[in-house]
Amino acid sequence: MSRRLISSGSTFEAEIGYSRAVVVDDWVFVSGTTGFDYASMTLSEDLLEQTQKALANIAAALGEAGASFADVVRVTYVLPDASRFEECWPALREAFGESRPAAMMISAGLSDPRMLIEIEVTALIRP
């Protein structure tokens, strides 16, 4: 079994003790990812923009693992306000419309009240 850690460079990873993603053999497990711009540690106040940035952060981790959104088999969305989930759909459809992974949406508080969405994915790298 091979195991490789992927970091986004976020200060949260070192402070909390986790990796943006872990690659085990052909599996990629991407941690819950928010819309933070890790270079500037800024966060938009707009839900759709946060969703797009979270997906960009996930795409970067998947790419480093040798995977893409086409390889995603499971996705979990967490929003503090479930009534706003539909606002995210255009960005989610763009990312997952072709692969159509198994999905779940949970309404729960996030660690920072500025965070409006967190997304976690699991991918299986295809040969």
**pLDDT bucket at 12, cuts 50 / 70 / 90:** confident
Contact between 91 and 51 under an 8 Å Cβ cutoff? The reply is: yes
State the average pLDDT over residues 60-73. Answer: 97
Contact between 32 and 8 under an 8 Å Cβ cutoff? The reply is: no
Tokens, residue 6? 């992927």
Report if pTM > 0.85: yes
Tokens, residue 25? 């053999």
- Predicted confidence at residue 9, as pLDDT, reads 79
Greater pLDDT, 79 or 19: 79
On average, the pLDDT of the chain sits at 94
- Predicted confidence at residue 46, as pLDDT, reads 97
- Predicted confidence at residue 116, as pLDDT, reads 98
SS (H, E, C) the chain: CCEEEECCCCHHHHHHHCCCEEEECCEEEEEEECCCECCCCECCCCHHHHHHHHHHHHHHHHHHHCCCHHHEEEEEEEECCHHHHHHHHHHHHHHHCCCCCEEEEEECCCCCCCCCCEEEEEEECCC
CA dist., res. 113 & res. 44, Å (int): 12
CATH fold of 3-124 reads 60s Ribosomal Protein L30; Chain: A; (3.30.1330)
CA dist., res. 69 & res. 126, Å (int): 12
